[in-house]
Structure 1
Amino acid sequence: MKKIVIVGAVGGGATAAGQLRFYNPDVQIIVFDRDSTMSYAACGTPYIIGDVIEDEQSIVLTNPEKFKKKRDIDVKLEHDVIEIDRAAKKVLVQNLETGDQFEESYDALILAPGGSAIVPKIEGLDSSQVFTLRNFEDMQRIDRFIKNKKPESCIVSGGGFIGLEMAENLKNLGLDVSLVHRSPAIMSILDTDISLIIEKELAIQGVKLLTGTEMVKTDGKTIKLSNGIELHADFIIMSVGLRPNTGLAVKAGLKIGETGGIQTNEFMQTDDPSIYAIGDASENFDMVTGDPKRVPLASPVHRQAFIAARHILGSKIAKKGLLGTSVLKIFSLTAAMTGLNEKTIKDKNLEYATVTHNGISNASYYPDHSKITLKVHYNPQTRKILGAQCIGGKGVDKRIDVIVTAIYAGLTIDDLQALELCYAPPYSSPKDPINMVGYKAINDN
């Protein structure tokens, strides 16, 4: 009987375990995780803190007892895998509660160790109340602090997904929120013109935004920035980036790719065919360019878990690459993107053209409609779509989902005008923004 050991029991690890059991009732599956909670929806944690989701246990999908009873999978929490013996196909595990160590053999090993929040070295940071948000326990610590200490102000450092989601949720709690971001524009995965729309929304909602600067010194509740400005805040949320947890892989001699993740092939295998890597710490490849790519988001890891599990069980279903499709709520706005942004296209010296449509989400005479901006980059010679971004009040996600499908299917920018999409006044227009982008591109040809 084949034995599979999995390191990590959150999105990737728990999903891989479930897939393995679904497709094979006989394999032995053991999952280890150093945290005390498994299989929780990490993307929901900012909304627990913001009281949008009232019950914190609602984002915990299962526990070891339920997993064992329902799927016959052994999950050992507060157990840290500290070493891999590739030759003997064994891992060394430490029980974090007792300190005891033991070995566990494997036929296949899946690494889903996730990532850790980056906390930069800042003078005096230990004197301030600082939080990161990477796991369930982090969420609980922030939530308890807000409820018990009743803070009035916060600085969020970093204008990425977590930073913006936390800024919104903390502002909605009534806190005075300042958002500090090192780059000139927030959300660097977006084109600058799209980012500026988000910045305007933050200003409207009362979030103080300081870009092109960073924290250099803190003294309790006083925070000094590199531009000389001093801010005062009761606590700091540090969300400047994610470091993939590759220490175990490095120690085992597995190859690390140029993005800093554990290098994998189209079946999520590392350079050791018995060891797979999925999730935030794994490196795969870009669907558009074929270049190395790492996407620490939920949707890709679930797909990677399926591919790894199926390959271990003998089915070769290859991953076709990563697009980095993502969506973000910022107060009344939604922003989404897929594929390459303008900066990446330019950095790679790719030939491209861009078509932008400023329209509305659905029929203008219908009372519930909003402005929408859809921007698509494409190769003017092959007409293949390179990437897209969309921002507006409603219907943003479905437009990007259509573009994702078009890229996956190999459609051209010109094909978009021919798509017969859903129409009724509450939902769209007879010529959807997707169609309009296609028509405009044809006119530019």
Structure 2
Amino acid sequence: MAKRYVIVGGDAAGMSAASQIRRQDPEGEIIVFEKEGVISYAQCGLPYFVGGVVAEKKKLIARTAEDFHSRYNIDVRLYHEVLQFKPQDKQVRVYRRQEKEEIIVPYDVLLIGTGSAAIVPPWEGRDLPGVFTLKTMGDAEKLLAWLEEHTPTKAVVIGGGYIGLETAEALHTRGFKVTVLDLAPQLIPTFDAPIAEIVQDTLKRHGVEVYLNEEVVGLEGDEKGVRAVVTKNGSFPADLVIISIGVRPVSELAREAGIELGPRNAILVNERLQTNISDIFAAGDCATHFHRIKNAPDYVPLGTTANKQGRIAGVNMAGGYARFAGIVGTAIVKVFDRTIARSGLSEKECDALGVPYQTVSIKARPISHYYPWEDEVLTLRLHFHRDNRKLLGGQIAGGGGVDKRIDVLATALFHGMTIDDLQALDLAYAPPYNSVWDPLQQAATVVQRGKE
């Protein structure tokens, strides 16, 4: 008999797994349950969809349910919400939302790819008209539909993380007066303070107001809509509010089924993406991610990782052997005309782990000194182990050239290189693209001179 594979969640991890299973097992039955009406779309592109940079919803959708069925014989069932995992019976209990009925579906192998959900505290007024999150395609469509019927002018974004900053820019592009509130003493707390200050200056230079150390206590308004965000320090007028304070793994059903959880209640998986229960795998934003620098499970939900984990889970579910090599915590974000990126550990993470480290910080042009360049120079910060000089992490901010350097750094971190190894790298050079010594190598030289 053909093996039945059941996948819960039809986005990056789930559909990557389904595609890989089909390559490994041409005869297997693959069923994907997705509680929403769209699959396989780019969540990271939603702020650009809202801002009008991406003009059409369909541009964010990689493949439709029909595509997967016709091309790969994968049975994708939209508007099917899984209510329970029953490992003892190897079954899932599913609610068919359109038919308003429940069904029981058996499986041979199960993948949990339930993703993450936006964190929304129990603030009074969180359900007022004009208050949104921006996590799913449905969120974006609701926001855009609301904007077609209303004419707000003052937007408050609660949360200064990646999506919050991208959303602030998107709303500014649409002509809103935008205010960003954050509970922390700096924006993007996963970055070092000097990089966060560059981001804050960029926002202010473009007319976005930033208020830090602001603890939201509620939202005011009436049936017509939200009017203000209230914090312990004051009140901020708003007729549109975006809550963007982070995400959490959707792991409640897994916990109820006896599946072990890890950091931040993400589903704990091994290098093959297996859970503690036989024939149950997990991948993507609902699962843990092994961090190569920390040498421990972590939770860093990103689309790149979800696709990799889904593919690896699919191979293993179909009887093959593949292992997830882990992450080093690489991320990049555009904030108006500036780009910030990071890989490895921040100063705070080094401190929390008790790692003895040193930091080198420099400013450098990303191209030759004599070649015309009107953009801001790069700010680089590299952290390395004080004893063995292994690279621990780094962050870069600037205009052009940030993406190139962060990927070089991520590669160096992945392979356990030292700060001194950077100088030996054979990197591309021509005056319009680099100097004879890349900025990363210049930082390494500063360290070596300090050692001499």
Instruction: Name the TM tier (shorter chain).
Output: over 0.9
Indicate the residue corresponding to 2:401 in structure 1.
Answer: 395
Residue 442 of structure 1: CA displacement?
A: 2.1
2:293 to 285, 288, 296: 288
Residue 224 of structure 1: CA displacement?
A: 4.7
In structure 1, C-alpha distance between the alignment counterparts of 2:377 and 2:420, rounded to whole Å: 24
Residue 218 of structure 1: CA displacement?
A: 2.2
In structure 1, C-alpha distance between the alignment counterparts of 2:318 and 2:235, rounded to whole Å: 57
Amino acid at match of 2:156: I
Secondary structure in 2 matching 1:263: coil
Residue 39 of structure 1: CA displacement?
A: 0.6
Indicate the residue corresponding to 2:424 in structure 1.
Answer: 418
In structure 1, C-alpha distance between the alignment counterparts of 2:359 and 2:242, rounded to whole Å: 36
In structure 1, C-alpha distance between the alignment counterparts of 2:377 and 2:67, rounded to whole Å: 46
1:232 is the counterpart of 2:270: no
Structure 1 contact 124–219 (Cα < 8 Å) conserved: yes
Q: Deviations over 1:360-407 (max 9, x none)?
A: 121233334531011111112111111111110011111111111111
1:444 is the counterpart of 2:439: no
- RMSD over aligned CA atoms reads 1.4
Residue 295 of structure 1: CA displacement?
A: 1.2
1:105-124 residue pairs with structure 2 within 5 A?
105-124=106-125
Indicate the residue corresponding to 2:384 in structure 1.
Answer: 378
1:350 is the counterpart of 2:351: no
Gaps of 5+ in 1: none
Structure 2 contact 6–109 (Cα < 8 Å) conserved: yes
Amino acid at match of 2:61: V
Indicate the residue corresponding to 1:435 in structure 2.
Answer: 441
In structure 2, C-alpha distance between the alignment counterparts of 1:393 and 1:22, rounded to whole Å: 41
Structure 1 contact 416–437 (Cα < 8 Å) conserved: no
Q: Deviations over 1:309-357 (max 9, x none)?
A: 1222333322232222110000010000011110011011111111122
Structure 1 contact 268–308 (Cα < 8 Å) conserved: yes
Structure 1 contact 153–234 (Cα < 8 Å) conserved: yes
Residue 55 of structure 1: CA displacement?
A: 1.3
4+ residue segments displaced more than 4 Å: none
Q: TM-score, normalising length from structure 1?
A: 0.97
In structure 2, C-alpha distance between the alignment counterparts of 1:26 and 1:121, rounded to whole Å: 47
Structure 2 contact 10–40 (Cα < 8 Å) conserved: yes
Q: Which moved more, 1:379-388 or 1:117-126?
A: 117-126
1:328 is the counterpart of 2:307: no
2:305 to 277, 283, 300: 300
Residue 229 of structure 1: CA displacement?
A: 2.2
1:278 is the counterpart of 2:279: no
Question: Residues 133 and 224 from structure 1, CA distance in 2 versus in 1: closer, same or farther, beyond 3 angstroms?
Answer: closer
Question: Residues 109 and 303 from structure 1, CA distance in 2 versus in 1: closer, same or farther, beyond 3 angstroms?
Answer: same
Indicate the residue corresponding to 2:9 in structure 1.
Answer: 8
Residue 150 of structure 1: CA displacement?
A: 2.1
Q: Deviations over 1:162-187 (max 9, x none)?
A: 10000001001110000000000010
Residue 116 of structure 1: CA displacement?
A: 1.1
Structure 2 contact 390–419 (Cα < 8 Å) conserved: yes
Amino acid at match of 1:65: E
1:244-283 residue pairs with structure 2 within 5 A?
244-283=249-288
In structure 2, C-alpha distance between the alignment counterparts of 1:23 and 1:327, rounded to whole Å: 33
Question: Residues 26 and 444 from structure 1, CA distance in 2 versus in 1: closer, same or farther, beyond 3 angstroms?
Answer: farther
In structure 1, C-alpha distance between the alignment counterparts of 2:344 and 2:422, rounded to whole Å: 16
Residue 105 of structure 1: CA displacement?
A: 1.6
1:406 is the counterpart of 2:407: no
Question: Residues 24 and 167 from structure 1, CA distance in 2 versus in 1: closer, same or farther, beyond 3 angstroms?
Answer: same
Amino acid at match of 2:58: Q
Gaps of 5+ in 2: none
In structure 1, C-alpha distance between the alignment counterparts of 2:158 and 2:296, rounded to whole Å: 30
Question: Residues 309 and 176 from structure 1, CA distance in 2 versus in 1: closer, same or farther, beyond 3 angstroms?
Answer: same
Q: Deviations over 1:130-161 (max 9, x none)?
A: 10111111101111222331211110000011
Residue 21 of structure 1: CA displacement?
A: 1.5
1:44-83 residue pairs with structure 2 within 5 A?
44-83=45-84
Question: Residues 238 and 224 from structure 1, CA distance in 2 versus in 1: closer, same or farther, beyond 3 angstroms?
Answer: closer
In structure 1, C-alpha distance between the alignment counterparts of 2:450 and 2:111, rounded to whole Å: 48
Residue 227 of structure 1: CA displacement?
A: 4.0
Secondary structure in 2 matching 1:164: helix
- Size of the alignment, in residue pairs? 445
Indicate the residue corresponding to 2:21 in structure 1.
Answer: 20
In structure 2, C-alpha distance between the alignment counterparts of 1:322 and 1:23, rounded to whole Å: 25
The alignment-based identity, stated in percent, is 36
Q: Which moved more, 1:88-97 or 1:122-131?
A: 122-131
In structure 2, C-alpha distance between the alignment counterparts of 1:164 and 1:74, rounded to whole Å: 37
Indicate the residue corresponding to 1:130 in structure 2.
Answer: 131
Question: Residues 24 and 442 from structure 1, CA distance in 2 versus in 1: closer, same or farther, beyond 3 angstroms?
Answer: farther
